[in-house]
């Protein structure tokens, strides 16, 4: 059975009453206290429509001070809370399990400062990722992370999940790009760690505790982030490989030959491609001449003095450069000659580039449209990754469609098992097998999505008992009543040792 159906409400949490509502209205005004059924229904339901809470209250603070006052009050009343950003999380972490109060930071969406020389941006947690991307584009910079959910997800949610996405291979994880942050603890204490320095070794670097802790240690209210300059040449290739071994070899070759200009290396198998073409409107197979088993997207980004080809541009303001384009073309040619690549297309303009990206970024949406889906987000040694997919197909036979794609360049497989309806007999064939398999390879059962509710009690597959105990001690220290995102991240057996 799923985590949602086996979790029991912690009875030491209070339920909201009319005094609580009056108090919150005093702090936030009528606007910041949401009780309308329709809005609550959306906020109680996750993106996949798989997890559903029954919260009767959503609070929308507009400042750190308001977040601090709300949390101080909730802590003193023992009211459990769920921090929420864009609600695009994929592990049931962003919605209540029972009647927890939703604290949604969407209204805190100001860009506070941007330094044009260093590229350091300070903004509030509720800024939507796509808005930050557009803002930076005008300034000649880019965000160091990009993902399919950019139109809805927020930087606070990205930092809280330590989201990886499509550019990690080039710019690294948010543990590197986030220079500082401001967070509010369960008791309302505001921690100002909003540094803008590249280097700062004064004691323990506590911001890292909040990056990837999924709202279980505090609410992130502001973020300071180092953004890279937008480089003048971006090129994108959509390739086909006949087997998985070729994909893997292509990755080693790309790392060696495209090295410093490689900015994405993504893969999808034929099942993922079929789903996208079937369920998303307006997309065509870029390589229609024959059937292919695997597809790879390679993006290169580099600087260049050659700005002469304005009709061939990828971003409106970014001309294709012949130099980096030639490098990618030469790589493609070689890879086709050696047989690693069986077919390929280079994006000729911005529209073609976005339709290539839309195919890869659209896989989660296509899966959603196809019905019920079991999602696994695994870090595995690339040479072993597809063995798991094939074993899973054998185990499940015709009962489900086993779909594989992901950030191959980062060793991150998105294994998705698509069925008509959620079904415990299928689930019992998938779990614990998938976690045991991953654990045996010393992989991670959550590469980038987090543990949320779905995998809170699975943490031991990737972390030792001693490590989990230390995490629990940190949780206890920062949130002694356990009000922040209960039932998530750490197993109930560990969490229940914390008061409530
Ligand atoms: P939410 O979903 O609202 O919250 C996520 C978690 O963070 C929850 O536990 C919540 O309690 C907590 N949280 C949110 N805001 C705060 C805050 N201010 N302070 C403290 N805690 C907070 N993830 C990847 O890593 N890579 C991808 O490529 C990727 N692609 C995606 C594509 C699609 C189509 C979708 C739907 C999701 C994708 N995701 C991906 C998953 C998701 O983790 C990210 O979309 C994103 O980081 C979540 O941000 P959000 O604002 O929606 O956070
Ligand atoms: C992606 O890379 C996201 O598209 C979603 O991380 C992965 O749906 C998934 O499993
Ligand atoms: Zn991903």
- The domain spans of the chain are 3-106, 111-226, 233-361, 371-461
Q: What's the whole-model pTM score?
A: 0.96
| Ligand nearest the Cα atom of residue 164 | 1
Which atom of ligand 2 is nearest to 406's Cα? 2
C-alpha–C-alpha distance, residues 28 and 189, integer Å: 18
Which atom of ligand 1 is nearest to 158's Cα? 47
If one residue of 46, 50, 90, 417 were mutated to test the ligand 2 pocket, choosing by the most ligand atoms within 8 A of its CB, it would be: 90
Domains 111-226 and 371-461 share a fold: no
Which atom of ligand 2 is nearest to 266's Cα? 2
Residue closest via CA to ligand 1's atom 16 equals 157
Which atom of ligand 2 is nearest to 164's Cα? 6
Give the CATH architecture of domain 371-461. Answer: 2-Layer Sandwich (3.30)
| Ligand nearest the Cα atom of residue 214 | 1
The answer to whether residues 454 and 195 touch, using CB atoms and an 8 Å cutoff, is no
Contacts with 305 (C-beta within 8 Å, 6 or more apart), sequence order: none
* DSSP per-residue letters across 396-411: HGGGSEEEEEEEGGGT
Give the CATH architecture of domain 3-106. Answer: 2-Layer Sandwich (3.30)
Query: Is the interface score ipTM higher than 0.85?
Result: yes
Would you write out the chain's pLDDT as a tens digit for each of its 500 residues?
A: 677 788 999 999 999 999 999 999 999 999 999 999 999 999 999 999 999 999 999 999 999 999 999 999 999 999 999 999 999 999 999 999 999 999 999 999 999 999 999 999 999 999 999 999 999 999 999 999 999 999 999 999 999 999 999 999 999 999 999 999 999 999 999 999 999 999 999 999 999 999 999 999 999 999 999 999 999 899 999 999 999 999 999 999 999 999 999 999 999 999 999 999 999 999 999 999 888 999 999 999 998 755 444 444 444 444 455 668 899 999 999 999 999 999 999 999 999 999 999 999 999 999 999 999 999 999 999 999 999 999 999 999 999 999 999 999 999 999 999 999 999 999 999 999 999 999 999 999 999 999 999 999 999 999 999 999 999 999 999 999 999 999 999 998 887 765 44
In this structure, the residues whose C-beta lies within 6 A of any atom of ligand 2 are 90, 148, 363-364, 375, 377, 406, 414, 416
Q: Kindly report the CATH number that applies to the domain delimited by 111-226.
A: 3.30.465.10
Instruction: Say how many Å lie between the CA of residue 343 and the centre of ligand 1.
Output: 35
- At residue 436, the 3 state secondary structure works out as helix
- At residue 363, the 3 state secondary structure works out as helix
If one residue of 48, 91, 148 were mutated to test the ligand 2 pocket, choosing by the most ligand atoms within 8 A of its CB, it would be: 148
Half-sphere exposure of residue 426, counting CA atoms within 13 Å on the CB side?
21
Class (C level, CATH) for 233-361: alpha beta
């Amino acid at each position: 059975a799923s985590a949602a159906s086996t979790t029991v409400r912690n009875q030491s949490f209070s339920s909201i009453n009319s005094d609580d509502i009056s108090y919150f209205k005093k702090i936030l005004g009528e606007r910041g206290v949401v009780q309308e059924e329709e809005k609550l229904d959306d906020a109680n339901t996750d993106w996949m429509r798989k997890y559903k809470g029954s919260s009767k209250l959503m609070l929308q603070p507009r400042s750190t001070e308001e977040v601090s006052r709300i949390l101080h009050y909730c802590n003193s009343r023992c009211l459990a809370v769920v921090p929420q950003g864009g609600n695009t999380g994929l592990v049931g972490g962003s919605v209540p399990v029972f009647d927890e109060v939703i604290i949604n930071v969407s209204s805190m969406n100001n860009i506070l400062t941007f330094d044009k020389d260093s590229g350091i941006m300070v903004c509030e947690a509720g800024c939507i990722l796509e808005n930050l991307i557009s803002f930076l584009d005008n300034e000649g910079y880019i965000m160091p992370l990009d993902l399919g959910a950019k139109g809805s997800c927020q930087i606070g949610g990205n930092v809280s999940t330590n989201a990886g996405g499509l550019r990690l291979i080039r710019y690294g994880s948010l543990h590197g790009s986030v220079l500082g942050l401001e967070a509010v603890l369960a008791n309302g204490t505001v921690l100002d760690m909003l540094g803008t320095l590249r280097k700062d070794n004064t004691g323990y670097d506590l911001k890292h505790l909040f990056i990837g802790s999924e709202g279980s240690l505090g609410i992130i209210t502001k973020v300071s982030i180092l953004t890279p300059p937008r480089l003048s040449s971006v090129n994108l290739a959509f390739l086909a490989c006949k087997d998985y071994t070729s994909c893997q070899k292509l990755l080693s070759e790309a790392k060696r030959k495209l090295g410093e200009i490689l900015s994405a290396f993504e893969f999808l198998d034929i099942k993922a491609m079929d789903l996208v073409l079937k369920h998303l409107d307006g997309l065509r197979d870029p390589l229609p001449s024959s059937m292919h088993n695997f597809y790879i997207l390679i993006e290169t980004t580099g600087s260049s003095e050659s700005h002469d080809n304005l009709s061939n541009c990828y971003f409106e303001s970014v001309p294709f450069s012949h130099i980096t384009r030639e490098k990618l073309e030469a790589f493609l040619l070689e890879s086709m000659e050696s047989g690693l690549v069986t077919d390929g297309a280079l994006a000729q303009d911005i529209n073609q580039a976005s339709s290539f990206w839309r195919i890869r970024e659209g896989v989660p949406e296509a899966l959603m449209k196809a019905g019920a889906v079991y999602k696994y987000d695994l870090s595995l040694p690339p040479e072993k990754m597809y063995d798991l997919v094939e074993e899973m197909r054998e185990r499940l036979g015709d009962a489900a469609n086993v779909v594989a794609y992901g950030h191959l360049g980062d060793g991150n497989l998105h294994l998705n098992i698509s069925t008509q309806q959620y079904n415990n007999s299928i689930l019992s064939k998938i779990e614990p097998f998938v976690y045991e398999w991953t654990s045996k390879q010393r992989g991670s059962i959550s590469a980038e999505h987090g543990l949320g509710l779905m995998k809170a009690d699975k943490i031991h597959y990737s972390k030792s008992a001693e490590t989990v105990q230390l995490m629990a001690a940190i949780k206890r220290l920062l949130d002694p009543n356990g009000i922040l995102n209960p039932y998530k991240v750490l197993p109930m057996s560990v969490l229940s040792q914390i008061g409530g």
